[in-house]
Structure 1
Amino acid sequence: MLKKCFGLLGRNIHYSFSKGYFTEKFNTENLVGCSYENFDIQDINEFPEMIKINPDLVGLNVTIPYKETVIPFLDELSENAAEIEAVNVIKITNEGKLKGYNSDYYGFKKALEPLLQLHHKKALILGTGGASKGVAFALKELNIQYTFVSRKASENAIGYDQIDAAIFNNYHIIINSTPLGTSPNTAEFPPIPYQFFTQKHIAFDLIYNPAETKFLKKAKEKGAVIKNGLEMLVFQAEKAWEIWNE
């Protein structure tokens, strides 16, 4: 029987959504011979050896902190992944070639779209890591202007200390793409002035565990529409499955 192994590449990923999701999918859909494993490596330079000793591997999801650093190890990138400069899906061909894709942007776009109203024209993206790049790409496709927010202001981002009432009045979508608030560090949250959230705002957190982060709680208290990252994850996982089976 043909064995097909899939997995998640990341660091400290015992909490991962993907393994549980795909294992259940394989059982429910009776996909015999398919398995899903966590590949928890401490350094991206361990990646080639990991590929070599797992000849049954046909597809990988990629999570923090390797969405960008894995790129030099790949043979090819899809058009979207090349533009986004971040990869969260790898397809391994029969010839052993590695091609990188990005399904994060697709998952985020599908999860955000139902919440959008006419006044949602501008977004703040908190964080500038690999996940933020997929978010920015999706916003561009939705014709929503965006600005990155980072600890230090730069050419490409404003600093957290620059966010005030005027900015909140201008930007009605606030997206947390940082890991701040992820379990077990649930007391953490991005340092923004939450008092300026209103009913006109959407607070979207890419985190899914806990279901309601401090960021979402504090925004909800001011009447904002909130959404966590679970639906986005499901959408991007199904897109990954589609890519692996093309």
Structure 2
Amino acid sequence: MKTYGLIGYPLSHSFSKGFFTRKFEEEHIAGCQYETFPIPAITELPALLAQHPGLCGLNVTIPYKEQVIPYLDELSDAAANIGAVNCIRLKDGKKKGFNTDVIGFRNSLQPLLQPHHNRALVLGTGGAAKAVMYALQEMNISFTVASRTPGNGTVAYNSLDKAAMEAHTLIINTTPLGMYPNVDACPDIPYDFITSRHLLYDLVYNPAETLFLQKGAAQGAAIKNGHEMLILQAEASWDIWNG
């Protein structure tokens, strides 16, 4: 039995387990299972791997996307550049880290882009933001990073004026603001300056339409949540494990 799984903590709601269990059933993939491994500290990873010698691949979620790197033998170029790993291939005794968030985000965003979506505003500075920035660089889209607290090349939400909002027609929320159960939260940007030329993309997928997306839609903007990105990054993991 080939075993794949997810490490993180806590793992109360795992998209990955449901996705892969369904995939194995619907595509008649025999001899495979997907498990969740909630480990309270990343230092427990070597013991986990020793207990499960049949593991062929792992997904990595918060809070270990960055912490896992010292435990790996090798990194893909994207993972090394981003400094975050969400997929590990276990093959021939080697542990190689990849970042499939980049693939999922890029392939989900690309079909929505209009020629005028050439400057992006990235909301947030965490690991997800780094993957988004890497993908934007790949697509030759310039970007500005905004967060609650400015500094280190980041502008503050409250410094965004009409000109800044009009110049950045692609706005990407990489923060967890608005995620269930805190559905009344959203990044504190001036939504009044959003127009029908804007495209708002939220990495959050639960609820399907966050307050961030609702406010954009109310101004006539195109909107997209992170559900397809999750599916595409999961499929990319499968390709890496079996490629």
Offset of 1:135 from its aligned partner?
0.6
| Structure 1 residue 182 corresponds to structure 2 residue 179 | yes
| TM-score normalised by L of structure 1 | 0.95
Offset of 1:122 from its aligned partner?
0.6
The answer to whether the Cα contact below 8 Å between 1:14 and 1:38 also exists between their aligned partners in 2 is no
Equivalent in the alignment of 1:232: 229
Instruction: Summarize the alignment of residues 163-174 of structure 1 with structure 2, pairs less than 5 Å apart.
Output: 163-174=160-171
Could you tell me how far apart the structure 2 residues matched to 1:236 and 1:209 are?
A: 17
Equivalent in the alignment of 1:98: 95
Instruction: Summarize the alignment of residues 88-167 of structure 1 with structure 2, pairs less than 5 Å apart.
Output: 88-95=86-93, 97-167=94-164
> Any idea what the Cα deviations from partners look like across 1:178-224, whole Å, max 9, x if unmatched?
11111122222111111111101011000111111111111111111
How many correspondences in the alignment?
A: 243
Offset of 1:146 from its aligned partner?
0.9
The answer to whether the Cα contact below 8 Å between 1:9 and 1:61 also exists between their aligned partners in 2 is yes
Could you tell me how far apart the structure 2 residues matched to 1:192 and 1:42 are?
A: 35
| TM-score normalised by L of structure 2 | 0.96
Could you tell me how far apart the structure 2 residues matched to 1:31 and 1:222 are?
A: 45
List runs of 5+ in structure 1 lacking aligned partners.
none
Secondary structure at 2:34 match in 1: strand
Secondary structure at 2:172 match in 1: strand
Equivalent in the alignment of 2:49: 51
Superposed CA RMSD:
1.2
**Matched residue type, 2:50:** K
Offset of 1:40 from its aligned partner?
1.7
Offset of 1:8 from its aligned partner?
1.4
**Matched residue type, 1:45:** T
Bigger CA drift: 52-61 or 120-129?
52-61
| Structure 1 residue 67 corresponds to structure 2 residue 65 | yes
> Any idea what the Cα deviations from partners look like across 1:99-130, whole Å, max 9, x if unmatched?
00011111111111111111111101111111
